[in-house]
């Protein structure tokens, strides 16, 4: 695995991915893009894994794309980079992903964070889509995910001015799940991951699958997807264990079966 992305197991069922380009404020370059693609391709294949935490460092989650790679490129060259593959692999990750966001998350950094299912942001964080200030626009889903997260009018202000938000502002408008002191961002993200990892993994996967599939579907279609997924879980061993433990007033032991 690339040195640009450190992968550890802080607990048996949780993977921690730490972006490691401190000299560039964790800016996204081709090598880091490949490392993220490989990680999000490989990790879901591990049946023991139940959650992923994605983090940067104290100064930056990710400062956006590395403009040194893009400055001299034309349309054809950018199209050949295969950027879309990375975003698709991350978007298709079936495991719950928790983003631990400290420092700056600009451009591709905010887009990466918005691919997560839960965002824990620090009080000192700054989040934005400043692409317009360098003559381009978001290309990793920013125009679409931001609107879905905060609504058209707040998203358009961010996209058209390039002005960043503070952590408290992002939390207030629904762009983060929790707001915590900066030094508690990663511990809290890991705490949430541990909570999810202790619960039935098949249920977690179905919940994520149905939420994302139904997000852009008519309500009736989303309800149908929910009902079908709900019914499939009644044939799982974890359903039997969970309900038995509840009735017997004991802690459940979920195996992922």
What the block records as the tokens of 202 is 């098949």
Range scoring the smallest mean pLDDT among 74-78, 118-122, 167-171, 172-176: 74-78
Which residues have CB under 8 Å from 36's CB, separation 6+?
A: 5, 17, 86, 89, 90, 112
Question: Which residue intervals of the chain are DSSP H helices?
Answer: 30-42, 67-70, 75-79, 83-91, 108-114, 142-150, 152-161, 167-172, 185-197, 201-214, 219-232, 237-247
Q: Assign 1 a pLDDT band (cuts: 50, 70, 90).
A: low
Q: Establish whether 140 is a catalytic residue.
A: no
pLDDT, residue 16, reads 98
According to DSSP, the residues that pair with 97 across neighbouring strands are 52
pLDDT, residue 118, reads 98
Q: What is the mean pLDDT of residues 230-252?
A: 96
Which residues have CB under 8 Å from 162's CB, separation 6+?
A: 128, 129, 130, 131, 132, 133
Q: Establish whether 108 is a catalytic residue.
A: yes
**Candidate list 116, 122, 128, 131, residue with the active-site label:** 131
The answer to whether residue 49 scores a pLDDT higher than 70 is yes
Q: Assign 183 a pLDDT band (cuts: 50, 70, 90).
A: very high
Instruction: For each of the domains in the chain, give its residue range(s) and CATH number, in order of start.
Output: 5-197 (3.90.226.10), 201-247 (1.10.12)
Q: What is the mean pLDDT of residues 12-17?
A: 96
**Candidate list 65, 100, 170, 189, residue with the active-site label:** 65
pLDDT tens track for 195-226: 999 999 999 999 999 999 999 999 999 999 99
The answer to whether residue 57 scores a pLDDT higher than 80 is yes
Q: Establish whether 131 is a catalytic residue.
A: yes
In whole angstroms, how far apart are CA 218 and each of 1, 163, 174? 41, 33, 22
pLDDT, residue 220, reads 97
**Candidate list 39, 111, 122, 142, residue with the active-site label:** 111
Nearest residue to 52 via CA among 104, 3, 89, 2 = 89
**Candidate list 108, 122, 128, 141, residue with the active-site label:** 108
The answer to whether residue 247 scores a pLDDT higher than 60 is yes
Q: Establish whether 65 is a catalytic residue.
A: yes
pLDDT, residue 81, reads 73
pLDDT, residue 75, reads 81
């Amino acid at each position: 695995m690339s040195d640009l992305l450190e992968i550890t197991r802080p607990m048996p069922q949780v993977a921690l991915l730490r972006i490691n380009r401190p000299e560039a404020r964790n800016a996204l370059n081709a090598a880091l893009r490949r490392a993220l693609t490989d990680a999000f391709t490989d990790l879901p294949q591990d049946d023991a894994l139940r959650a992923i935490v994605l983090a940067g460092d104290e100064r930056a989650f990710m400062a956006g794309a590395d403009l040194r790679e893009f400055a001299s490129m034309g349309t054809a060259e950018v199209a050949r980079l295969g950027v879309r593959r990375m975003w698709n692999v991350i978007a298709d990750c079936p495991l719950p992903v928790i983003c631990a966001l400290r420092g700056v998350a600009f451009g591709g950094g905010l887009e990466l964070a918005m691919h997560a299912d839960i965002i824990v942001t620090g009080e000192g964080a700054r989040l934005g889509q400043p692409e317009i200030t360098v003559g381009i626009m978001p290309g990793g889903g920013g125009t679409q995910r931001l609107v879905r997260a905060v609504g058209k009018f707040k998203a358009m202000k961010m996209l058209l001015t390039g002005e960043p938000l503070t952590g408290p502002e992002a939390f207030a408008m629904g762009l983060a799940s929790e707001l915590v002191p900066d030094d508690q961002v990663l511990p809290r993200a890991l705490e949430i991951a541990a909570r999810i990892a202790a619960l039935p993994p098949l249920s977690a996967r179905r919940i994520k699958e149905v939420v994302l599939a139904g997000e852009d579907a008519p309500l009736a279609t989303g309800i149908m997807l929910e009902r079908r997924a709900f019914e499939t879980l009644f044939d799982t061993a974890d359903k039997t264990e969970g309900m038995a433990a509840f009735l017997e007033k004991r802690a459940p032991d979920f195996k992922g079966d």
